[in-house]
Structure 1
Amino acid sequence: MSDNSTLFGGDAAPQPTPVRTPAHAAPEPPRWGNPPDALTEILPLEDLQPEMSLDTPNVPAPLAGTPVPAPTRVFDDWQLSSEFEGYVPAVVELDKLETRRKTVPAKQGWRGVAHNVAGVNLAPGKDELYEMALKDRVQRMVRTTFPIAVVGVKGGVGKTVVTEVLGSTFSAVRGDRVIAVDLDPDAGNLISRHGRESALSIADLIAEGSPGRYLDVRAHTSQNKATRLEVLTGPDFARTPMPLLDKDVDAVMPILDEHYSLVLMDTGTGLKTNLMTAVLRKARALVMVSSASIDALEETQVGLDWLHHNGYQHLLHTMVLVINNVQRGKSNINVDAAVKQFARQIGRERIFVLPFDTHIFEGRQITLELLSAKTRRRYLELAAAVSELFPRPAD
């Protein structure tokens, strides 16, 4: 140890008596009279060891050669340690938990009025549930384009109206692309019942070759803004020298198959033409239309017999019969008896009697919302029956 007189000069001052600081107390800093290297005289080396932490257990070190056990895990693959033996964790089955869900409020009848006016959330009634079930059937998935031929052996039975309203019902309920094509070679008037938007026709679409984009096809069609049904009209009957031919059907259908889910084909009255042969060859379902008159029903029976004897038996199994009341007032025949007679050849669930509708009788462009509630319901039932003919995914 160095002499303080040598370090600071002058006489050496008396040295204070060393004081041992307890281990739990902070060491007192050295005084100015003591140099830093005199700290070992104030605090012995054994007192400079760090204090034992309260978090560190005072466990003696194991003896040499003694095996050290591995630490015990509390959880090992959902198994508890020996300290929790006998405890089984609870299993919660989430699929059995009951949850309170909101119900869709009624939109029709007095229940719908109560919801709109008073905000009372009432479940739909029986009639509304039936309509919802019909719409579910109409929305059945179709994995490939489904062509539907609308035919009528006698003129004036309303097959063009059936094509327009049935196509509008499909388009409004399904929401995918639905198109109706006028394939009547004798001045078909489908576009007049639908509304013209484009001046182009099926002849212009065929002349373009094979347009790859939907927008190229859409430029040739007229769309109803309310239902989004599209119509591809035939060539101008008065200004076009050549009528529609079977090769036109063979050329246009592959184009429509690329962009539309349902294709409705409005046809003429001739069954023994090359054009009708091409239509029936493409069709996967048939809607036979007759009026509620004795002569029309007799010719409809002739048409069914012709299909049966000319190789179209498969279409008889995918056919829907429509008896259309095109005249005001009561029919001069017993329609119920006619339905029972046709039910021997066609399932009763695929025969529909359409009521007379004043909006259709006007002969102008048809608006789905202006039809009577009974007419709209019949067409919804008709669309649901046709949807049952769609091929199943397993097919």
Structure 2
Amino acid sequence: MSPTGSSPPPSRPSREDDRTAGGELNADAILRERAPEPAAGWRRAVLRATGGLVNPGPSPAEIERREILHRIRKPLIRSHRIAVSSIKGGVGKTTVATLLGLVMAEHRGDRVIVLDANPDAGTLADRLTGESSVTVRELLRDLDRIHSWTEVSRYTSLAGRLQVLASEQDPASSDAFSREEYQHICALLDRFFNIIITDSGTGLVHSAMEGTLKLADSLIVVGAPTVDGAGRASKTLDWLLAHGHSALASEAVVVLSCDRTSHDVDRGRIRQHFESRSRAVIEIPHDPHLATGGRVELGRLRPETVDALYRLAALMADRFVT
């Protein structure tokens, strides 16, 4: 009590107290938390019809898709190289490299390039842009004169946001694409791109493939749910283990392209075999759009195919260094 009998006025907090007690005035502190809203379907229709008063929230499938997209968009602090490989041709290796590149480029804000390192006149550019007049051979020839993004882009074609570097289309010249030349190409691409996806050849002993494996941060092994397709994918893992690439093999993602399949083949046994030998297994279902062998467009794929591709992209992004 004061001498006059009245209570003293409450003391005012210091400015320092104001700052510590109140915290920072940012969006998280000021804005009221809102429940997640559905993006499509009947749940979205209910939200709009009630003016936002009734919010059923996103479906479990939509929540899962958002989580996968969040994984795909994982940031990078340095470039990441993904090699797509198989001993056997005709199992969809180029298709997998093509699709992974498109998904990564569409859902990330950084630069993604897919490189055709096939020594046998690869078809990756045909599947993406149809433009292969300027190839990796021209880029190799001019390496010392390239110092900017604008100069690099003269040697690539564009599929959406994905940059495409075509392989040499003359088989007589493509044999000269060596390990050292691949390393020079990657050293250049590392300066301008965040994600480098290499569609390698079908053999594992040619020089360019040796360079691909040496520089790869992660690996996709492509096979098929058939006797020969699964057997060759398994032999690819055997070869990697026998030639000093055990870490790459154990962390590989095996992709089974299901364009060819048979009721006589036990797909469950095949999947179980590769799950025991690799980090994960993804099955890409048969898709009429991919079966044509023509230009690939994500918008023309079946939903189940897109789901498989998103899971693949998320698995690869899980190993990005942040």
Q: TM-score, normalised by structure 1?
A: 0.71
Return the offset for 1:118. Answer: 7.2
Query: SS state of the match for residue 170, structure 2?
Result: coil
Structure 1 residues 271, 346: CA separation in 2 closer, same or farther (over 3 Å shift)? same
Structure 1 residues 318 and 241: alpha-carbon distance in aligned structure 2, compared to 1, 3 A threshold? closer
SS of corresponding position for 1:286? strand
Match of 2:306 in 1: 376
* SS in structure 2 at match of 1:341: helix
Structure 1 residue 250 displacement after superposition: 1.6
Question: Sequence identity of aligned pairs in percent?
Answer: 25
Q: Distance in 2 between matches of 1:291 and 1:145?
A: 30
Q: Hey, what's the Cα distance between the residues in 2 that align with 1:209 and 1:97?
A: 51
Q: Distance in 1 between matches of 2:50 and 2:128?
A: 39
8 Å CA contact 2:251–2:278 kept in 1: the answer is no
**What is the rounded CA distance, in whole Å, between the counterparts of 1:118 and 1:224 in structure 2?**
41
Q: Is the 8 A contact 2:119 2:171 kept in 1?
A: no
Q: Secondary structure at the match of 2:192?
A: coil
Report what 1:33 is aligned to.
Answer: none
Q: Give 1:105's aligned residue.
A: 37
State whether residues 103 and 310 of structure 2, in contact with CA within 8 Å, keep that contact through their aligned partners in structure 1: yes
Alignment of 1:80-159 (within 5 A): 85=8, 87-89=10-12, 93-94=21-22, 99-103=31-35, 105-114=37-46, 120=52, 122=55, 123-159=57-93
AA aligned opposite 1:235: E
- Distance (whole Å) between structure 2 residues aligned to residue 241 and residue 387 of structure 1: 31
User: Relative to 1, partners in 2 of residues 1:217 and 1:332: Cα closer, same or farther, differing over 3 Å?
Assistant: farther
Instruction: Indicate the residue corresponding to 1:178 in structure 2.
Output: 112
**TM-aligned CA deviation for residue 243 of structure 1:** 3.9
SS state at 2:233 partner:
helix
Q: Decide whether the 8 Å contact of 1:151 with 1:267 is kept in 2.
A: yes
Secondary structure of 1:289 counterpart: strand
Corresponding residue for residue 278 of structure 2: 346
- Counterparts in 2 of 1:346 and 1:236: CA distance versus 1, 3 Å: closer
Worse-superposed segment, 93-102 or 254-263: 93-102
The gaps in structure 2 that reach 5 residues or longer are 1-5
Q: 1:118 to 1:185 in 2, by over 3 A?
A: farther
Cα separation, partners in 2 of 1:282 and 1:124, compared to 1, 3 Å: same
Match of 1:72 in 2: none
Shift of the alpha carbon at 1:152?
A: 1.0
Q: What aligned pairs does 1:295-314 form with structure 2 within 5 A after superposition?
A: 295-314=228-247
Retained in 2: the 8 A contact 1:178–1:230?
Answer: yes
In structure 1, give the amino acid aligned to 2:257. Answer: N
**Residues paired across the two proteins, number:** 305
Moved more, 297-306 or 367-376: 297-306
Distance in 2, Cα, partners of 1:234 & 1:143:
28
Structure 2 length-normalised TM: 0.87
Would the aligned equivalents of 1:224 and 1:230 in 2 still touch at CA under 8 Å?
A: yes
Cα distance in structure 2, aligned partners of 1:343 and 1:288: 12
Q: Structure 2 matches for 1:326-341, cutoff 5 A?
A: 326-327=259-260, 330-341=262-273
Deviation at 1:331, TM superposition (A): 4.7
Change (3 A) 1:378 1:223: same
CA deviation profile, 1:59-83 (whole Å, cap 9, x unmatched): xxxxxxxxxxxxxxxxxxxxxxxx9
RMSD of aligned alpha carbons: 2.5
Which among 249, 267, 270 is matched to residue 316 of structure 1? 249
Q: Please, which of 124, 143, 153 is the counterpart of residue 218 of structure 1?
A: 153
Query: Once the 2 structures are TM-superposed, how far is the Cα of residue 142 of structure 1 from its aligned partner?
Result: 1.2
The one-letter amino acid paired with 1:313 is S
- Tell which deviates more after alignment, 239-248 or 229-238: 239-248
Using the TM superposition, give the Cα deviation of residue 111 of structure 1 relative to its aligned residue in structure 2, in angstroms: 2.1
Relative contact order higher in (CA < 8 Å, ≥ 6 apart): 2
